[in-house]
Protein backbone atom coordinates (compact mmCIF):
# COMPACT_ATOMS: atom_id res chain seq x y z
CA UNK A 1 0.00 0.00 0.00
CA UNK A 2 1.59 3.34 -0.99
CA UNK A 3 2.27 5.97 1.65
CA UNK A 4 1.97 9.74 1.47
CA UNK A 5 4.95 11.98 2.23
CA UNK A 6 5.56 12.88 5.82
CA UNK A 7 4.32 16.39 5.14
CA UNK A 8 0.81 15.07 4.55
CA UNK A 9 0.84 13.52 7.99
CA UNK A 10 1.60 16.93 9.47
CA UNK A 11 -1.11 18.52 7.37
CA UNK A 12 -3.52 15.82 8.40
CA UNK A 13 -2.86 16.36 12.07
CA UNK A 14 -3.48 20.07 11.56
CA UNK A 15 -6.61 19.44 9.50
CA UNK A 16 -8.98 20.31 12.29
CA UNK A 17 -8.53 23.50 14.33
CA UNK A 18 -10.73 24.80 17.10
CA UNK A 19 -12.38 28.06 16.12
CA UNK A 20 -13.93 28.83 19.49
CA UNK A 21 -13.19 27.51 22.94
CA UNK A 22 -16.85 27.90 23.85
CA UNK A 23 -17.73 25.28 21.24
CA UNK A 24 -15.98 22.51 23.16
CA UNK A 25 -18.32 19.58 23.68
CA UNK A 26 -21.58 21.35 22.94
CA UNK A 27 -21.27 23.68 19.97
CA UNK A 28 -21.04 23.11 16.26
CA UNK A 29 -17.73 21.76 15.04
CA UNK A 30 -16.11 24.69 13.26
CA UNK A 31 -13.10 23.10 11.58
CA UNK A 32 -12.22 23.39 7.91
CA UNK A 33 -10.39 20.95 5.64
CA UNK A 34 -6.66 21.41 5.05
CA UNK A 35 -4.93 21.63 1.69
CA UNK A 36 -3.98 17.97 2.07
CA UNK A 37 -7.62 17.06 2.64
CA UNK A 38 -8.72 19.09 -0.37
CA UNK A 39 -6.15 17.38 -2.57
CA UNK A 40 -7.16 13.95 -1.31
CA UNK A 41 -10.81 14.59 -2.16
CA UNK A 42 -9.93 15.95 -5.59
CA UNK A 43 -7.87 12.85 -6.44
CA UNK A 44 -10.65 10.55 -5.26
CA UNK A 45 -13.27 12.32 -7.37
CA UNK A 46 -11.07 11.95 -10.44
CA UNK A 47 -10.76 8.25 -9.74
CA UNK A 48 -14.54 7.88 -9.43
CA UNK A 49 -15.08 9.73 -12.68
CA UNK A 50 -12.79 7.30 -14.50
CA UNK A 51 -14.40 4.24 -12.91
CA UNK A 52 -17.99 5.15 -13.80
CA UNK A 53 -19.52 2.72 -16.30
CA UNK A 54 -19.67 4.45 -19.70
CA UNK A 55 -22.82 2.68 -20.89
CA UNK A 56 -25.30 3.47 -18.11
CA UNK A 57 -23.66 5.82 -15.58
CA UNK A 58 -23.48 3.28 -12.75
CA UNK A 59 -20.62 2.32 -10.48
CA UNK A 60 -19.73 -1.26 -9.69
CA UNK A 61 -19.80 -2.66 -6.17
CA UNK A 62 -16.95 -5.13 -5.93
CA UNK A 63 -18.11 -8.61 -6.81
CA UNK A 64 -21.77 -7.63 -6.55
CA UNK A 65 -21.95 -5.90 -9.92
CA UNK A 66 -23.58 -2.57 -10.67
CA UNK A 67 -25.45 -1.28 -7.67
CA UNK A 68 -27.77 1.59 -6.82
CA UNK A 69 -26.08 1.82 -3.40
CA UNK A 70 -22.51 2.43 -4.59
CA UNK A 71 -23.74 4.60 -7.45
CA UNK A 72 -25.65 6.70 -4.93
CA UNK A 73 -22.63 6.95 -2.63
CA UNK A 74 -20.49 8.09 -5.55
CA UNK A 75 -23.05 10.75 -6.50
CA UNK A 76 -23.17 11.96 -2.90
CA UNK A 77 -19.36 12.15 -2.82
CA UNK A 78 -19.55 14.76 -5.58
CA UNK A 79 -22.38 16.62 -3.86
CA UNK A 80 -20.45 16.63 -0.57
CA UNK A 81 -17.49 18.25 -2.34
CA UNK A 82 -19.70 21.05 -3.68
CA UNK A 83 -20.48 19.80 -7.19
CA UNK A 84 -24.20 20.25 -7.87
CA UNK A 85 -26.33 18.55 -10.52
CA UNK A 86 -27.70 21.05 -12.98
CA UNK A 87 -24.81 23.48 -12.48
CA UNK A 88 -21.79 23.96 -14.77
CA UNK A 89 -18.70 22.10 -13.67
CA UNK A 90 -16.30 19.28 -14.55
CA UNK A 91 -18.49 16.59 -13.01
CA UNK A 92 -21.96 17.64 -14.08
CA UNK A 93 -22.38 14.83 -16.61
CA UNK A 94 -20.85 12.28 -14.23
CA UNK A 95 -23.27 13.19 -11.45
CA UNK A 96 -26.39 13.39 -13.59
CA UNK A 97 -25.72 10.07 -15.32
CA UNK A 98 -25.38 8.44 -11.92
CA UNK A 99 -28.67 9.92 -10.72
CA UNK A 100 -30.53 8.82 -13.82
CA UNK A 101 -29.17 5.30 -13.47
CA UNK A 102 -30.65 5.06 -9.97
CA UNK A 103 -33.99 6.52 -11.10
CA UNK A 104 -34.25 3.87 -13.83
CA UNK A 105 -33.81 1.05 -11.31
CA UNK A 106 -36.84 1.90 -9.16
CA UNK A 107 -39.35 -0.94 -8.91
CA UNK A 108 -43.12 -0.59 -8.98
CA UNK A 109 -43.29 -0.79 -5.17
CA UNK A 110 -40.78 2.04 -4.83
CA UNK A 111 -37.73 -0.12 -4.08
CA UNK A 112 -34.46 1.33 -5.37
CA UNK A 113 -32.27 -1.65 -6.13
CA UNK A 114 -30.49 -2.85 -9.26
CA UNK A 115 -29.17 -6.26 -8.27
CA UNK A 116 -30.14 -9.25 -6.20
CA UNK A 117 -28.69 -9.23 -2.70
CA UNK A 118 -29.53 -10.44 0.77
CA UNK A 119 -30.11 -6.86 1.88
CA UNK A 120 -31.97 -4.70 -0.65
CA UNK A 121 -33.03 -2.26 2.09
CA UNK A 122 -29.38 -1.25 2.41
CA UNK A 123 -29.38 -0.20 -1.24
CA UNK A 124 -32.79 1.38 -0.87
CA UNK A 125 -31.88 3.50 2.15
CA UNK A 126 -28.68 4.80 0.58
CA UNK A 127 -30.37 5.61 -2.73
CA UNK A 128 -33.36 7.27 -1.08
CA UNK A 129 -30.97 9.47 0.88
CA UNK A 130 -29.17 10.40 -2.34
CA UNK A 131 -32.38 11.39 -4.11
CA UNK A 132 -33.37 13.63 -1.22
CA UNK A 133 -29.94 15.29 -1.26
CA UNK A 134 -30.26 15.87 -5.01
CA UNK A 135 -33.64 17.54 -4.50
CA UNK A 136 -31.98 19.79 -1.92
CA UNK A 137 -29.01 20.77 -4.11
CA UNK A 138 -29.88 20.66 -7.82
CA UNK A 139 -30.51 23.79 -9.85
CA UNK A 140 -32.36 21.78 -12.51
CA UNK A 141 -36.14 21.95 -11.89
CA UNK A 142 -36.89 19.00 -14.18
CA UNK A 143 -34.35 16.75 -12.46
CA UNK A 144 -35.61 17.87 -9.06
CA UNK A 145 -39.17 16.95 -10.05
CA UNK A 146 -38.12 13.49 -11.25
CA UNK A 147 -36.20 12.84 -8.06
CA UNK A 148 -39.03 14.12 -5.89
CA UNK A 149 -41.52 11.75 -7.54
CA UNK A 150 -39.21 8.76 -7.04
CA UNK A 151 -38.41 9.94 -3.51
CA UNK A 152 -42.06 9.97 -2.47
CA UNK A 153 -42.46 6.32 -3.54
CA UNK A 154 -39.22 5.34 -1.83
CA UNK A 155 -40.20 6.98 1.45
CA UNK A 156 -43.60 5.31 1.36
CA UNK A 157 -41.87 1.93 1.15
CA UNK A 158 -39.65 2.76 4.14
CA UNK A 159 -42.62 3.78 6.28
CA UNK A 160 -44.61 0.68 5.34
CA UNK A 161 -41.65 -1.54 6.21
CA UNK A 162 -41.42 0.05 9.64
CA UNK A 163 -45.16 -0.40 10.22
CA UNK A 164 -45.05 -4.21 9.92
CA UNK A 165 -45.89 -6.01 13.18
CA UNK A 166 -42.71 -6.98 15.05
CA UNK A 167 -41.70 -8.28 18.45
CA UNK A 168 -41.26 -5.50 21.04
CA UNK A 169 -37.45 -5.61 20.95
CA UNK A 170 -37.47 -5.32 17.13
CA UNK A 171 -40.25 -2.75 16.73
CA UNK A 172 -39.40 0.65 15.24
CA UNK A 173 -36.47 -0.47 13.12
CA UNK A 174 -35.75 -2.01 9.73
CA UNK A 175 -33.81 -4.94 8.32
CA UNK A 176 -32.77 -6.49 5.01
CA UNK A 177 -36.13 -6.85 3.27
CA UNK A 178 -39.15 -4.54 3.01
CA UNK A 179 -41.07 -7.46 4.54
CA UNK A 180 -38.60 -8.25 7.36
CA UNK A 181 -40.14 -8.79 10.79
CA UNK A 182 -36.90 -8.07 12.65
CA UNK A 183 -34.51 -5.10 12.76
CA UNK A 184 -30.85 -4.14 13.07
CA UNK A 185 -29.08 -0.85 13.68
CA UNK A 186 -27.16 -0.87 10.40
CA UNK A 187 -30.15 -1.00 8.05
CA UNK A 188 -32.10 1.22 10.45
CA UNK A 189 -29.42 3.92 10.27
CA UNK A 190 -29.73 4.28 6.50
CA UNK A 191 -33.53 4.50 6.64
CA UNK A 192 -33.37 7.21 9.31
CA UNK A 193 -30.90 9.24 7.28
CA UNK A 194 -33.22 8.91 4.28
CA UNK A 195 -36.27 9.96 6.31
CA UNK A 196 -34.48 12.98 7.77
CA UNK A 197 -33.20 14.12 4.37
CA UNK A 198 -36.63 13.61 2.79
CA UNK A 199 -38.37 15.50 5.58
CA UNK A 200 -35.95 18.39 5.05
CA UNK A 201 -37.15 18.72 1.43
CA UNK A 202 -40.83 18.57 2.32
CA UNK A 203 -41.78 14.89 2.40
CA UNK A 204 -44.33 13.90 5.02
CA UNK A 205 -42.82 11.84 7.85
CA UNK A 206 -44.94 11.57 10.97
CA UNK A 207 -43.59 12.14 14.47
CA UNK A 208 -44.82 8.67 15.39
CA UNK A 209 -42.46 7.04 12.89
CA UNK A 210 -39.54 9.05 14.27
CA UNK A 211 -40.47 8.28 17.87
CA UNK A 212 -40.57 4.55 17.16
CA UNK A 213 -37.19 4.72 15.44
CA UNK A 214 -35.72 6.53 18.46
CA UNK A 215 -37.08 3.87 20.78
CA UNK A 216 -35.44 1.13 18.74
CA UNK A 217 -32.10 2.93 18.63
CA UNK A 218 -32.08 3.34 22.39
CA UNK A 219 -32.72 -0.39 22.81
CA UNK A 220 -29.49 -0.99 20.87
CA UNK A 221 -27.47 1.23 23.24
CA UNK A 222 -24.98 -0.71 25.38
CA UNK A 223 -25.02 -0.14 29.12
CA UNK A 224 -21.35 0.92 29.25
CA UNK A 225 -21.44 3.08 26.12
CA UNK A 226 -21.68 2.40 22.42
CA UNK A 227 -24.30 0.66 20.29
CA UNK A 228 -24.79 -2.95 19.25
CA UNK A 229 -26.10 -4.50 16.08
CA UNK A 230 -29.34 -5.53 17.79
CA UNK A 231 -30.67 -5.04 21.34
CA UNK A 232 -28.49 -6.80 23.90
CA UNK A 233 -25.49 -7.18 21.58
CA UNK A 234 -22.11 -5.59 22.30
CA UNK A 235 -20.84 -2.44 20.61
CA UNK A 236 -18.23 -1.62 18.01
CA UNK A 237 -17.25 1.64 16.34
CA UNK A 238 -19.33 1.44 13.13
CA UNK A 239 -22.52 0.57 15.02
CA UNK A 240 -21.80 3.21 17.63
CA UNK A 241 -21.41 5.90 14.98
CA UNK A 242 -24.64 4.74 13.35
CA UNK A 243 -26.60 4.91 16.59
CA UNK A 244 -25.21 8.29 17.57
CA UNK A 245 -25.86 9.89 14.19
CA UNK A 246 -29.33 8.41 13.85
CA UNK A 247 -30.37 9.78 17.25
CA UNK A 248 -29.01 13.21 16.35
CA UNK A 249 -30.82 13.22 13.01
CA UNK A 250 -34.05 12.28 14.76
CA UNK A 251 -33.84 15.59 16.58
CA UNK A 252 -32.76 14.27 19.98
CA UNK A 253 -29.54 16.24 20.43
CA UNK A 254 -27.00 15.09 23.02
CA UNK A 255 -29.02 12.22 24.45
CA UNK A 256 -27.27 10.23 27.19
CA UNK A 257 -26.98 7.31 24.76
CA UNK A 258 -25.31 9.45 22.07
CA UNK A 259 -22.91 11.10 24.51
CA UNK A 260 -21.97 7.72 25.98
CA UNK A 261 -21.35 6.55 22.42
CA UNK A 262 -19.06 9.52 21.79
CA UNK A 263 -17.11 8.72 24.96
CA UNK A 264 -16.83 5.12 23.71
CA UNK A 265 -15.28 6.38 20.47
CA UNK A 266 -12.70 8.42 22.40
CA UNK A 267 -11.62 5.19 24.07
CA UNK A 268 -11.63 3.29 20.78
CA UNK A 269 -9.99 5.52 18.13
CA UNK A 270 -10.16 4.55 14.45
CA UNK A 271 -7.71 1.93 13.16
CA UNK A 272 -7.04 1.00 9.54
CA UNK A 273 -7.05 -2.66 10.50
CA UNK A 274 -10.48 -2.55 12.11
CA UNK A 275 -13.53 -4.30 10.68
CA UNK A 276 -15.74 -2.17 8.43
CA UNK A 277 -13.24 0.72 8.47
CA UNK A 278 -15.01 2.76 5.78
CA UNK A 279 -18.42 2.16 7.30
CA UNK A 280 -16.99 3.49 10.55
CA UNK A 281 -15.34 6.44 8.80
CA UNK A 282 -18.62 7.45 7.16
CA UNK A 283 -20.81 7.28 10.24
CA UNK A 284 -18.39 8.32 12.99
CA UNK A 285 -17.16 11.41 11.15
CA UNK A 286 -20.73 12.65 10.85
CA UNK A 287 -21.81 11.54 14.31
CA UNK A 288 -18.97 13.26 16.13
CA UNK A 289 -19.50 16.36 13.98
CA UNK A 290 -23.08 16.53 15.24
CA UNK A 291 -21.97 16.24 18.87
CA UNK A 292 -19.44 19.07 18.75
CA UNK A 293 -15.74 19.84 18.78
CA UNK A 294 -14.79 17.89 21.89
CA UNK A 295 -15.50 14.66 20.08
CA UNK A 296 -15.15 15.60 16.43
CA UNK A 297 -11.73 17.21 16.54
CA UNK A 298 -10.24 14.34 18.50
CA UNK A 299 -11.77 11.58 16.37
CA UNK A 300 -11.50 13.24 12.97
CA UNK A 301 -7.85 14.21 13.29
CA UNK A 302 -6.92 10.55 13.76
CA UNK A 303 -9.28 9.41 11.01
CA UNK A 304 -7.95 11.87 8.45
CA UNK A 305 -4.36 10.86 9.14
CA UNK A 306 -5.29 7.25 8.39
CA UNK A 307 -7.14 8.16 5.20
CA UNK A 308 -4.29 10.27 3.87
CA UNK A 309 -1.74 7.58 4.64
CA UNK A 310 -3.65 4.81 2.89
CA UNK A 311 -4.96 6.59 -0.20
CA UNK A 312 -3.45 5.03 -3.30
CA UNK A 313 -1.68 6.93 -6.06
CA UNK A 314 -4.70 6.79 -8.36
CA UNK A 315 -6.84 8.50 -5.70
CA UNK A 316 -8.75 5.42 -4.59
CA UNK A 317 -8.97 3.50 -1.35
CA UNK A 318 -9.44 -0.21 -0.80
CA UNK A 319 -9.91 -1.58 2.70
CA UNK A 320 -7.77 -4.38 4.01
CA UNK A 321 -10.76 -5.83 5.86
CA UNK A 322 -12.60 -8.56 4.01
CA UNK A 323 -16.08 -7.21 4.79
CA UNK A 324 -15.30 -3.67 3.67
CA UNK A 325 -13.18 -4.90 0.79
CA UNK A 326 -16.09 -6.90 -0.61
CA UNK A 327 -17.85 -3.62 -1.37
CA UNK A 328 -15.08 -2.81 -3.81
CA UNK A 329 -12.80 0.11 -4.54
CA UNK A 330 -15.61 2.45 -5.65
CA UNK A 331 -17.44 1.89 -2.37
CA UNK A 332 -14.34 2.52 -0.25
CA UNK A 333 -13.41 5.60 -2.27
CA UNK A 334 -16.86 7.19 -2.10
CA UNK A 335 -17.06 6.55 1.65
CA UNK A 336 -13.59 8.04 2.11
CA UNK A 337 -14.64 11.24 0.36
CA UNK A 338 -17.86 11.46 2.38
CA UNK A 339 -15.87 11.10 5.61
CA UNK A 340 -13.36 13.78 4.62
CA UNK A 341 -15.97 16.22 3.28
CA UNK A 342 -18.02 16.60 6.45
CA UNK A 343 -16.39 19.96 7.24
CA UNK A 344 -17.37 21.38 3.85
CA UNK A 345 -21.05 21.17 4.92
CA UNK A 346 -22.25 21.23 1.31
CA UNK A 347 -24.39 18.11 1.65
CA UNK A 348 -27.70 19.06 3.31
CA UNK A 349 -27.60 16.03 5.65
CA UNK A 350 -24.27 17.34 7.00
CA UNK A 351 -25.94 20.45 8.33
CA UNK A 352 -26.63 20.70 12.02
For residue 106, the SS3 value is strand
Cβ 35 vs Cβ 93: under 8 Å: no
Domains located in the chain, CATH noted: 6-350 (1.50.10.20)
The C-alpha atoms of residue 292 and residue 66 are separated, in whole angstroms, by 37
Whole-prediction pTM value?
A: 0.91
The C-alpha atoms of residue 105 and residue 59 are separated, in whole angstroms, by 13
Cβ 213 vs Cβ 250: under 8 Å: yes
Alpha carbon separation from 87 to 78, 197, 318 (Å, rounded) = 12, 21, 31
DSSP state of 193: H
The C-alpha atoms of residue 115 and residue 315 are separated, in whole angstroms, by 27
The C-alpha atoms of residue 78 and residue 192 are separated, in whole angstroms, by 22
**For every one of its 352 residues, what pLDDT tens digit does the chain have, with 9 covering 90 and above?**
333 433 433 333 333 333 333 333 334 444 546 788 999 999 999 999 999 999 999 999 987 789 999 999 999 999 999 999 999 999 999 999 999 999 999 999 999 999 766 689 999 999 999 999 999 999 999 999 999 999 999 999 999 999 999 999 999 999 999 999 999 999 999 999 999 999 999 999 999 999 999 999 999 999 999 999 999 999 999 999 999 999 999 999 999 999 999 999 999 999 999 999 999 999 999 999 999 999 999 999 999 999 999 999 999 999 988 888 989 999 999 999 999 999 899 999 998 7
- Select from 208, 57, 77 the least CA-distant residue to 130: 77
Cβ 234 vs Cβ 268: under 8 Å: no
For residue 66, the SS3 value is strand
Cβ 266 vs Cβ 298: under 8 Å: yes
For residue 60, the SS3 value is strand
Give the angle subtended at the CA of 329 by the CAs of 102 and 4, to the nearest 5°. Answer: 135
For residue 201, the SS3 value is coil
Residues in the chain: 352
Amino acid sequence: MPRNPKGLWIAALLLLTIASSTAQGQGVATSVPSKAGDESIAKALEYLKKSQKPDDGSWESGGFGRATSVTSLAVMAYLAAGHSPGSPGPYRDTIERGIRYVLKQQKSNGLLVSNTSHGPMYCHGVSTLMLAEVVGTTSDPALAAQCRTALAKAIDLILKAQDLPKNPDQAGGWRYQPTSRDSDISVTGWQIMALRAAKDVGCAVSADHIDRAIAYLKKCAWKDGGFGYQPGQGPNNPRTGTGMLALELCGTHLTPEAVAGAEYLLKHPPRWSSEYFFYEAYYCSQATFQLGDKYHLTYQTKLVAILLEHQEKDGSWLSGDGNDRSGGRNYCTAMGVLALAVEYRYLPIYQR
